[in-house]
Amino acid sequence: MNNKIKERVNLIIEYIEQILADNMKIESNIEINREIIDGNKTLVLDIYVPIRNFERHFNLDILEENEIDFYKYFMNILIEKFMKSDFIGITKYYMIRPEFFGNSFSGIDITNISGSCLKLAFGSSKEEFIEHVNSYNTKIDNYLDLLRDNNNQKGLS
């Protein structure tokens, strides 16, 4: 795994944790997009926390040819860090595409026990990306099934 990918994912995770550490109920957005920088399609990060008047924009310096490795690692770290957390929760990856008007969304929601919600928008049109999304969603489904089984076992005791 590319060290730059690990560093950038760790940076994003740190921002997520800092945003959701706030005791106030807040709504925020993080978007990972592609921009052409120095002639190359490169991943960029945009962070918005309106209630705190906080906005940051970063060139992640991850080229398009490495985006699948980035997203695969990123989704695995999201699962590792937050799936079993008592304080921060993650949703499955989902897409909203309005039929006529409105904003579309592809990504996940990350919430905390205070009710704050961070919308994390990211995606790729590459076929391999969908395979990683399916794996990510399956891991969440399997964990939820395990929790349901454990709760059913406790109910039988």
Residue (of 114, 119, 126) closest to 93 by Cα position: 119
Q: Average pLDDT in the 41-64 region?
A: 95
HSE at residue 90, side-chain half, CA atoms within 13 A, is 28
pTM of the model: 0.88
The confidence score (pLDDT) of residue 97 equals 80
Mean pLDDT computed over 50-68: 94
Whether residue 44 contacts residue 34, with contact meaning beta carbons closer than 8 Å, is answered with yes
Q: What percentage of the chain exceeds 90 in pLDDT?
A: 74
Contacts of 155 (CB under 8 A, 6+ apart): none
CA neighbours within 13 Å on the CB side: how many for 75?
25
Q: pLDDT tens, 91-139?
A: 999 998 877 776 788 999 999 999 999 999 998 888 899 999 999 999 9
Q: Which of 77, 80, 84, 38 is nearest to 61 (CA)?
A: 38
